[in-house]
């Protein structure tokens, strides 16, 4: 099975899982939108109503940051169990192990496209006028997607070796939630701290880029996006190499 065939298989399996999940819920596909909106409402109540953020546009600021971050955090946390939960299929036939985390990424991404559409509609309803700069949103989404692929593969792989690392991954994504400018503006930091955070925390940069494009119709830092894209592709190639050389060992560890 070549790489493109494995992509097709991952998309098919993800679509089947989504249909199965939706069939078990009363509100079906509506939960894809309801769930992130409930998260936004909850954090808005805490950080605006109770604590007072001081921003007039805080609900939009929070929504544009929280929705992409939920995509990231749910994908990485779910991917930690990707290989372990594929035990049944893995025991029946041998095919590329990267398909398992790919299915998780694809499943969450298909949901996210619907949520992103709702977010854009909500922005327009709030009075934000679409502009040419909004096309950069698609570029940021693509880079965000490619960043998640190697991280999802890594999360799934390390949990095969040490199951308890699922807890570490969950704590790491929680730490990212509070250190990526989700509830506060990274541009409010002093220059040195801002540069450090945006340089070494790709999610902080991507969340800021989403906001700059959709809220302020600004051009994101294309060079920085390019470096994240390049780093993601190199990491993805390396993870595929690891999965290739560790394929039989992965199967033994999962099935043991």
CB distance 79 to 101 below 8 Å: yes
* Local structure of 82: helix, strand or coil: helix
- The residue that leads in pLDDT, 253 or 24, is 253
Q: Which domain holds residue 227?
A: 3-255
DSSP code string of 89-133: HHTT----TTHHHHHHHHHHHHHHHHHHHHHHHHHHHTTPPP-GG
Better pLDDT: 107 or 58? 107
Q: How far apart are CA 86 and CA 145, in angstroms?
A: 22
pLDDT tens digits for range 61-80: 988 998 999 999 999 999 99
pLDDT value for 6? 75
What pLDDT score does 47 carry? 64
Can you say whether the dihedral through the CA atoms of 157, 162, 167, 173 is positive or negative? negative
For 169, other C-beta atoms within 10 Å of its C-beta total 20
Residue 14's alpha-carbon distances to 19, 73, 91, 103, 148, in angstroms, are 9, 18, 20, 5, 16
Cα-based angle 154, 158, 161 (whole degrees, multiple of 5):
155
**Residue 100 pLDDT grade (very low, low, confident, very high; cuts 50, 70, 90):** very high
Q: For position 37, what pLDDT does the model report? A: 76
Q: Cα(185)–Cα(96) distance, rounded to whole angstroms?
A: 41
Q: What is the pLDDT of residues 193-222, one digit of tens each?
A: 999 999 999 999 999 999 999 999 999 999
Mean confidence (pLDDT) of the chain: 87
Contact (Cβ atoms closer than 8 angstroms) between residue 202 and residue 180:
no
Q: How far apart are the first and last CA of the chain?
A: 25
Count of the separate structural domains present in the chain: 1
Please give the radius of gyration of the chain, using alpha carbons only, rounded to the nearest integer: 19
Model pTM?
Answer: 0.89
pLDDT digits over 39-48, tens only?
777 767 766 6
- Show the tokens assigned to 194: 């801002």
Q: Among 176, 165, 146, which Cα is nearest to 239's?
A: 146
Neighbours of 252 (CB within 10 A): 11
Task: Answer yes or no: are the C-beta atoms of 144 and 72 closer than 8 Å.
Answer: yes
Task: Give the max Cα distance, the chain.
Answer: 57
């Amino acid at each position: 099975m070549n790489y493109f065939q494995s992509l097709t298989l991952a998309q098919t399996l993800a679509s089947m899982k989504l249909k199965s999940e939706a069939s078990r819920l009363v509100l079906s596909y509506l939960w894809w939108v309801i769930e992130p909106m409930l998260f936004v409402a909850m954090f808005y109540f805490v950080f605006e109503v109770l604590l007072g953020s001081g921003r007039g546009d805080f609900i939009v600021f929070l929504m544009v940051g929280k929705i992409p971050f939920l995509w990231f955090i749910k994908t990485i946390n779910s991917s930690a169990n990707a290989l372990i939960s594929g035990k049944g299929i893995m025991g029946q036939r041998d095919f590329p192990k990267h398909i398992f985390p790919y299915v998780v990424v694809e499943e969450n991404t298909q949901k996210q496209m619907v949520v992103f559409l709702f977010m854009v509609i909500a922005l327009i309803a709030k009075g934000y006028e679409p502009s040419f700069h909004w096309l950069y949103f698609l570029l940021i989404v693509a880079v965000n997607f490619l960043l998640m692929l190697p991280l999802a593969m890594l999360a799934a792989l390390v949990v095969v070796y040490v199951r308890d690392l699922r807890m570490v991954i969950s704590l790491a994504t929680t730490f990212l939630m509070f250190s990526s400018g989700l509830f506060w503006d990274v541009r409010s930091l002093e220059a040195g701290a801002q540069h450090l955070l945006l340089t070494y925390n790709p999610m902080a940069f991507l969340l800021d880029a989403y906001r700059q494009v959709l809220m302020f119709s600004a051009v994101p830092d294309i060079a920085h996006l390019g470096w994240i894209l390049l780093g993601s592709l190199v990491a993805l190639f390396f993870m595929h190499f690891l999965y290739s050389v560790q394929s039989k060992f992965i199967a033994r560890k999962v099935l043991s």
